[in-house]
Amino acid sequence: MKRSQSTPKSEAARKIDIRGVAAKARVSIATVSRTINHVPTVDPVLAARVWSAVAELNYFPNTQARALVSGKSKLLGLIVSEITNPFFPELIQEFEQVAVERGYEILIGSTNYEKKTIEQCARRMLERKVDGVAVMTFGIEEVLFERFAVDNIPVVFIDAAPSRPLSSVLAVDYRTGIYEGVQHLAVLGHRKIGFITGPLRLRSAEARKAAFLDCLRSTGLKADPAWIIEGDHTLDGGRDAMQKILALPQWPTAIMCSNDMTAIGVQHALFEAKLKVPDDFSLVGFDDIHLAEYTIPPLTTVRMSCKDLALRAVNDLLSHLQDSPAKPEAPSKIITRLIVRQTTGLPKDALADLPGKSTRKKSRE
Amino acid sequence: MKRSQSTPKSEAARKIDIRGVAAKARVSIATVSRTINHVPTVDPVLAARVWSAVAELNYFPNTQARALVSGKSKLLGLIVSEITNPFFPELIQEFEQVAVERGYEILIGSTNYEKKTIEQCARRMLERKVDGVAVMTFGIEEVLFERFAVDNIPVVFIDAAPSRPLSSVLAVDYRTGIYEGVQHLAVLGHRKIGFITGPLRLRSAEARKAAFLDCLRSTGLKADPAWIIEGDHTLDGGRDAMQKILALPQWPTAIMCSNDMTAIGVQHALFEAKLKVPDDFSLVGFDDIHLAEYTIPPLTTVRMSCKDLALRAVNDLLSHLQDSPAKPEAPSKIITRLIVRQTTGLPKDALADLPGKSTRKKSRE
DNA sequence: CTGAAAGCGCTAACAA
DNA sequence: TTGTTAGCGCTTTCAG
């Protein structure tokens, strides 16, 4: 089995490492190291020999050894809520692209909202000595991230973060997009708008709900607490929440959702109940995942650019890493905006309401 | 900045490493190593001291150093086609779970079907010294994986693999599921069934198509080449392919798709064309992603268990790693089976066809 | 059963 | 500019 070891053919079949390259190029390992790290002070002639040895041997450096000695793993952690929610793969893809461009690898952790898993993720990141972590799980117990501070590892959170050095926060401007959504609904004539939240212990689920309530108020509508249902940002959660609303004696005429998956779940609940979108209910999602364009009918939703999110996250992390001169504190928020598709329309009682201004009771069940 | 270095407080504020633990526990670093690696021959008294030192210091070993010396990174590579296709996150989730259970971390690579990206992925895996790689991208240029053979890194492929040591293949039994699908359609009365393939350079897209053709034949139906359209396993691809079919003078009455995303794209194309599923077209997907249950109407599809796939992939890899005694060659195929939901029904011309057996022409456009 | 010591492959002083 | 050498934090002989 251990062929190369049991047959020490002197030079011939040695392992492909920096020494092998050095031997073949007839230089020292230091020169090899300098060459492959593009240190400018290497004699071009030697460099050429090194490069051709590298090519012939098909050599590449051992990341572990490199990391061990340099203290930098060139790994960025990315912690997301739930990899099966399509928003996150889209985020991951963008994040990875930016990271790889900048010479970093990413280590993904999916928490599934479970505290134990989150702990495990944090630990894995620490063990692998990531150079930075983006916690994109929209609200998390920060205690678990104290160790990162101890180890001087930058962390970027979303929406809110503990204030400490090397930690920054990506602020999302939920209000603009949600306001546009509420306005849109109001203009169509909706006065009774329900909201299905995400898991409320997630800070940004809370933020989205707060933004919704706020926008309702500034639009002059009032919120019926019965129509604010807690969901969990999953398809099942959306379906269940909508079923709860359908069990209510009074129905809203429009539903906003804390994310698109919830909205798709709602569409399904409505389909099962033989109710039509947007004829019986108007529906607005949040995130604008690619799928939103493909639901039937296509989902009106609030777009949050995950490309932006990813780019900003990586930049924030790296700016802490490369002892940046001035803090390029870019406090601008991540913007959101409404994308109108086909799940929003006039409220069912619009025609009836128009002539007489009477407040009709909704049909029940 | 470098507090701990500039202030060598003897014992007090030293870095948290194996030496720190050893010092605090008053043992040698070798004993610490043995203890945390659960070598059974450690004196319980010393072990206890070590563990409490570990706890107090909140110590955990440096994976890099460990990997460097042991030669095992405890990393498993997982290469997928496209992380934004929901099938893959589901796969990743399962794979990660199994891997973590077994003490491995995973490194994800998403190829996006681009050769350059695949190369990059392969290289990243090599650089990070993964202990094994699962190539779940359903067909890939194996040349890129030769280096893994050189480095004795096991690789598991899907559907087909180069035969070499340390490489195994996960065979999926496409026929059973697809046959059930074709049968189901045939029983409903469909005689004209179209198929939208995946990217045909992917081996398993080819395999699915071949299985379909095969099943058609053994059901006694014949395939119209015009109704076999190449898609690309994406939403957009499905929509485009269906639009091509709709442009044909003759329509099939049912469509099978190489994956669920394609089917969702088809549903969208039909929606745009004001055609109904299953009234105008019956539709069958493949994969049974979670979303399939939530489309409108819910998608009839062929289930392939990604849990199975993940489990088998990890097992195959690990069995190569731990010098397994006998090869536990489990040549059983990954099974597939039909899940009937609501996108399949009687063909549009069923009633008309029943009385007179005449072959009517389909309405065009 | 324990500790001292030799590296794993590489980078970063320091010398030449 | 180049080579020599000392570790990075850990596992693993090998003596004791």
What is the tens place of the pLDDT at every residue in A95-113? 999 998 898 989 999 988 8
Contacts with A313 (C-beta within 8 Å, 6 or more apart), sequence order: A95, A134, A136, A156, A170
Q: Tell me: the pLDDT tens digits for B39-73?
A: 999 999 999 999 999 999 999 899 999 999 988 89
Single-letter code of the amino acid located at B249 = P
Give burial (CB, 10 Å; 0-12/13-18/19+) of B150: exposed
* Whether the Cβ atoms of residue B147 and residue B126 lie closer than 8 Å to each other: yes
Which domains can be identified in chain A, with CATH numbers?
Answer: 17-61 (1.10.260.40), 71-173+307-331 (3.40.50.2300), 174-304 (3.40.50.2300)
Per-residue tokens: B363: 């309405």
Is the Cα dihedral A192, A197, A201, A205 positive or negative?
Answer: negative
Tell me if A34 sits within 8 A of A41, measured CB to CB. Answer: yes
B333-342, pLDDT tens digit by residue? 999 999 999 9
B249: left (phi over 0), alpha (psi -120 to 50) or beta: alpha
Distance (Å) from CA A249 to C1' D6?
A: 78
Instruction: Tell me the per-residue pLDDT of A76-87, one tens digit each, with 9 for 90 and over.
Output: 999 998 899 999
Please name which of B127, B102, B69 lies closest in space to residue B319, comparing C-alpha atoms. B102
Q: Are B84 and A60 an interchain contact pair (Cβ–Cβ within 8 Å)?
A: no
**E strand spans, chain B:** 75-80, 105-110, 132-136, 155-158, 167-170, 193-197, 228-230, 254-257, 282-287, 300-304, 336-339
CA distance B262 to chain A (A): 11
The answer to whether B84 contacts A89, with C-beta atoms less than 8 Å apart, is yes
- Residue B329: pLDDT band (50, 70, 90) is low
Question: Do the strands A300-304 and A336-339 form a parallel or antiparallel pair, or are they unpaired?
Answer: antiparallel
pLDDT of residue B152: 87
Q: Flag whether pLDDT at B1 surpasses 50.
A: no
Could you tell me the pLDDT band of residue A330, with boundaries at 50, 70 and 90?
Answer: low
CA dihedral of residues B146, A17, B320, B39 (deg, nearest 10): -170
> Å from B62 (CA) to C4 (C1')?
22
Distance set, CA B15 to CA A71, B3, B28, B57 (Å): 13, 10, 16, 10
Residues paired with residue A78 on neighbouring β-strands, in sequence order = A108, A134
A83–B89 CB contact, under 8 Å: yes
Structure tokens at B110: 């998403």
Q: State whether the Cα torsion B262-B267-B272-B273 is positive or negative.
A: positive
Q: Which residue of A has its CA nearest to B60?
A: A127
Nearest Cα residue in chain A from B262: A294
B238 — pLDDT class (breaks 50, 70, 90): very high
Q: Cα distance from B261 to chain A (closest Cα, Å)?
A: 9
Residue A324 pLDDT more than 60? no
